Structures are given as structure tokens and as C-alpha cells.
């Protein structure tokens, strides 16, 4: 199967620019980067794609076995980078894709030179000495609600994830993205996202890394950003004056500026 078609790959921007790969999070697709990509295109080669099971990807390529762990999503990212023969790329992962980027970079050190993590979380569930933002009971309830009434769950959770209640159109856009995803696929991706624990992978990241957090985020509180920053040697932490878990929609200029400044500063 052609990877570029399978993952609905779109390449824009400067053909001779450093590649910036924009990876979406759970329940979304590449469309959520549409306000950031044009701000990067004058300077960089911008690569957009959908994980199998999301957006315009080839749904026939999806399997619960492959996409039941983050390794399956990392394989998608790896195969996209290989299909485009990328070198020196910056992998920008939103939310769970930040950890996908960690796995992909470990597998492709010759192609991915740097990571930009946008509102990352290596573990969503609280643990001893660690605050992820959710209790085990919270996540169990979230997953049960998703399984029993996915459309209702989408309508209830999208505004919480997005924040910015004074801008309800943002929450509605995220809700629409959730609702466009097959509920079975969404259920598998949700478990992969909310039950993963990638804390042990962070200290081994040996490439330049940017951690982008929001001043207020109900899904990845600032303790998580501080944890990721402390766990990755030499990483840089940027706190956006923004609210919610999706600054690429709520604060696209600030998000693009942070990514561009980081990519621009790489050797």
C-alpha cells in the first residue's frame, strides 16, 4: 500500500526548507493544524498526515492490533518520514503525538533531528509523586462513557479539552472532529492514549526538544509540562499565554512562532 495515500500525506511550503512534520492527537486529523501550517510555509517544508483511522486516511489499513499501542502510530510516522525520504526533520506532536514522536525519533535518528511537543503528557493518570491530571477512576469513567455513547461523550468532552468557553466555536470544531471518527477506532485510540505510560522513555531523548504548554490546560496541567521538561535532558520549556489543550486552534500565531523559533535555531 502506498504510504502517502494511506496516511493522506500533504506537503506544502518551501521545497528546500527544513521539514516540519505536524502530527495530530487523539480524535483529530491534520485539519487541526490548518491555522499553523500557513504560518510555517514561507520558511519550512510542512508535512501533514493523518494516522490510519483518522481523517482522510485509508480506513481499510486499520487494525485494533496495530493501533492498540502507541508503537502502531509511531510506525505510521516512521513510514511517512521514510516515504518522503526526510532528513533533519522536526517532528511536532500534539498531545499524545508528542510521545509518538519520542518513539519515532528513537527509531529514525537519521531522519528526525528534533522534537517539538505541544501540550504533551507521558501519563494521564496520577501516580505516586506524579500528577497526570486524572485518577484511575476518572479515566475508567471517561472510557466507559465513550463506549456507551460516543456522540454524547464528544459533545461533553470537546469543550473541556478545548477550553476557551467564550469561544464555543472552537469546542464545536473539536466535537465535529471527534464525531467524524469511527466510534470503534476512537475507542481503541482512546485506550491507547489515556492508558499509556511513556515516562521511562523521556530520559533517553537525546535530540533537541521543545516542550510547549498552555498557561491553563485541563488535560495536561502545568505540572506535566514541568515533568516532561525536567525528564528530557537539555529540553526547552515554553508556556504560551493560552488556554486549553489545543493551542494550534486557540492561539495559532503563538504556537507557530514557538515552533518556528525552535526550528530556526537548530544547527
C-beta of residue 123 within 8 angstroms of C-beta of residue 86? no
Using one digit for the tens of pLDDT, what is the confidence trace for 192-236?
999 999 999 999 999 999 999 999 999 999 999 999 999 999 999
What local confidence, expressed as pLDDT, does residue 1 receive? 72
What pLDDT shows up at residue 137?
Answer: 97
Cell of 258: 514557538
Q: Which long-range contacts (CB under 8 A, 24 or more apart) does 103-109 make?
A: 103/70, 103/71, 103/74, 103/198, 103/201, 104/74, 104/77, 104/78, 105/205, 105/207, 106/201, 106/204, 106/205, 107/74, 107/78, 108/78, 108/81, 108/82, 109/207
Instruction: Give the helix/strand (H/E) hosting 136.
Output: helix 136-148
Specify the residue for cell string 531522519: 111
Active-site position among 54, 95, 154, 196: 95
Grid cell locating 95: 498531545
Mean pLDDT of 230-250: 97
CA geometry: angle 207, 266, 51, nearest 5 deg: 60
Grid cell at residue 104: 519515532
* pLDDT exceeds cutoff 90 at 265: yes
> What letters, b where the CB count within 10 A reaches 16 and e where it falls short, cover 191-227?
bbbbebebbebbeebebbbbbbbbeebbbbbeebbeb
Given the residues 217, 229, 235, 250, select the one marked as catalytic.
217
Q: Measured between alpha carbons, how far is 161 from 118 in angstroms, rounded to an integer?
A: 14
Mean pLDDT of 114-142: 97
245 has catalytic annotation: yes
Residue 117, CB half-sphere, CA atoms under 13 Å: how many? 33
3-123+197-264 has CATH 3.30.420.40 classification: no
Catalytic residue among 154, 196, 245, 250: 245
3-state secondary structure of 261: helix
With cut-offs at 50, 70 and 90, classify the pLDDT of residue 97: very high
User: In angstroms, rounded to a whole number, what is the distance separating the alpha carbons of residues 243 and 40?
Assistant: 22
pTM over 0.85: yes
Percent of the chain exceeding pLDDT 90 equals: 99
Average pLDDT over residues 121-133: 96
What nine digits make up the cell of 81? 518520514
Q: Which of 38, 106, 94, 113 is nearest to 263 (CA)?
A: 113
Amino acid at each position: 500500500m502506498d504510504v502517502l495515500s494511506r496516511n493522506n500525506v500533504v506537503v506544502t511550503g518551501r521545497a528546500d526548507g527544513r521539514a516540519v512534520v505536524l502530527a495530530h492527537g487523539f480524535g483529530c486529523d491534520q485539519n487541526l493544524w490548518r491555522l499553523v501550517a500557513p504560518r510555517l510555509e514561507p520558511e519550512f517544508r510542512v508535512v501533514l498526515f493523518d494516522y490510519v483511522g483518522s481523517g482522510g486516511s485509508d480506513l481499510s489499513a486499520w487494525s485494533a492490533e496495530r493501533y492498540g499501542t502507541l508503537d502502531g502510530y509511531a510506525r505510521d510516522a516512521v513510514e511517512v518520514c521514510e516515504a518522503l525520504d526526510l532528513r533533519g526533520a522536526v517532528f511536532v506532536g500534539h498531545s499524545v503525538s508528542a510521545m509518538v514522536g519520542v518513539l519515532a525519533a528513537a527509531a529514525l535518528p537519521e531522519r528526525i533531528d528534533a522534537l517539538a511537543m505541544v501540550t504533551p503528557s507521558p501519563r494521564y493518570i496520577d501516580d505516586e509523586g506524579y500528577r497526570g491530571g486524572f485518577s484511575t477512576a476518572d479515566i475508567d469513567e471517561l472510557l466507559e462513557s465513550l463506549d456507551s455513547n460516543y456522540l454524547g461523550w464528544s459533545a461533553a468532552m470537546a469543550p473541556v479539552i478545548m477550553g476557551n468557553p467564550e469561544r464555543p466555536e472552537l469546542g464545536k470544531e473539536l466535537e465535529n472532529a471527534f464525531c467524524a471518527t469511527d466510534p470503534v477506532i476512537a475507542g481503541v485510540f482512546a485506550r491507547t492514549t489515556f492508558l499509556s505510560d511513556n515516562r521511562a522513555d523521556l530520559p533517553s531523548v537525546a535530540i533537541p526538544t521543545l516542550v510547549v504548554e498552555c498557561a491553563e490546560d485541563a488535560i495536561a496541567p502545568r505540572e506535566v509540562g514541568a515533568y516532561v521538561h525536567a525528564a528530557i535532558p537539555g529540553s526547552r520549556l515554553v508556556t504560551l499565554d493560552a488556554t486549553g489543550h489545543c493551542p494550534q486552534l486557540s492561539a495559532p500565531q503563538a504556537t507557530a512562532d514557538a515552533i518556528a523559533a525552535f526550528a530556526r535555531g537548530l544547527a
